[in-house]
Amino acid sequence: MPRNLDLTALRAFVAVADAGGVTRAAGLLNLTQSAVSMQLKRLEDSLGTGLFLRTARRLSLTAEGEQLLGLARRMLALNDEALARLGAVAAVAPLRLGVTCDIVYPEIPPILKRLAACHPQLRVNLTSGFTVELLDGFARGAFDAILTTEDRPGPGGEELSAQRLVWIGAAEGHAWTRRPLQLAFKDSCIFRPAAHAALEQAGLDWEQTIDGESEQAAEAMVGADLAITARLRGRLPPGCAEVTGQGLPALGGFSICLYAAPTLKDQMAQALLSELRLAYRA
């Protein structure tokens, strides 16, 4: 009797090989770590050979695993093609995209609109959050791709562009002239430490006017001309204006960085990554 390989187990095997570990692969597959480990063991038992060398830091393929990986990719590609051609795919798994809240506009809405027109079956789950949260989620496999704002890209990150950080206040406002300066930053805002350091170096006194994680509270204080804050140049909230150069210290720059899971290989995923690179590159 001919034996059949389990395609679900093969998909888990490829995900673990691409992700470099069970934890991240589990997040990408939307499964528990134990479920992925069981699928790998079932596959190894059915083949009668080990597929991974397990070390403290990362899983690496055995010689047999390397041989299987290319075959597994071809088998899964044929399976997915057959389902797509015959209309048997009820729903395509959504691509999980995370974008730092300060760079969602204006690029993301038209990107998603274009992708929906070209790939009607594509679904994108969009999360807007803080860079630290997005990086943590990406490391756990909770996102397929993220866009962050950082001093420089971390391991696996791709710098798309360098953006100037500028001071902003209410249009025709005067908050920037008051001393001590009144600042409006969320507790976890990645621009906050840079602003504090620049003011300390310049010898300018400052006070923080809000507590917590409300972006709306920060924007309300700035819009009311009660405080100033910092944003990437050209990404100003309504009713605000750049006040850089008004006796305030320069803030330097930040990088817009793209992190993409190694498992993003299909046409729709590559289309999304291409759109992000085109939109956010300088």
The domain limits of the chain are: 7-85, 92-282
Cα 155 off chain centre by: 13
Token pair, residue 190, equals: 């990645």
CATH of 92-282, one of 3.40.50.2000, 3.40.190.290, 3.40.190.10, 3.30.1540.10: 3.40.190.290
Beta bridge partners of 59: 54
- On whether the CB atoms of residues 251 and 162 are closer than 8 A, the answer is no
What is the reported pLDDT for 169?
Answer: 97
What is the reported pLDDT for 136?
Answer: 95
Rounded Cα gap, residues 26 and 31, in angstroms: 5
What is the reported pLDDT for 57?
Answer: 65
Rounded Cα gap, residues 26 and 35, in angstroms: 8
Beta bridge partners of 229: 168
CATH top class, domain 7-85: mainly alpha
Please, what are the averages of pLDDT over each run of 10 residues along the chain (282 residues)?
87 89 81 92 94 79 94 90 68 86 92 82 90 93 96 93 96 95 93 95 96 90 97 90 92 95 86 92 78
Rounded to a whole number of angstroms, the distance between the first and last alpha carbons of the chain is 59
Rounded Cα gap, residues 220 and 207, in angstroms: 16
Rounded Cα gap, residues 30 and 43, in angstroms: 19
What is the reported pLDDT for 74?
Answer: 93
Q: What are phi and psi of 239, to 5 degrees?
A: 80, 5
Asked if the bond preceding 238 is cis, omega within 30° of 0, the reply is no
The one-letter amino acid at 221 = M
If one counts every other C-beta atom within 10 angstroms of the C-beta of residue 233, the result is 14
Taking CA 109 as the corner, what is the angle to CA 108 and CA 113, rounded to the nearest 5 degrees?
A: 115
Domains 7-85 and 92-282 share a fold: no
Token pair, residue 87, equals: 């209309």
Burial class (CB in 10 A: 0-12, 13-18, 19+), 153: middle
If one counts every other C-beta atom within 10 angstroms of the C-beta of residue 132, the result is 13
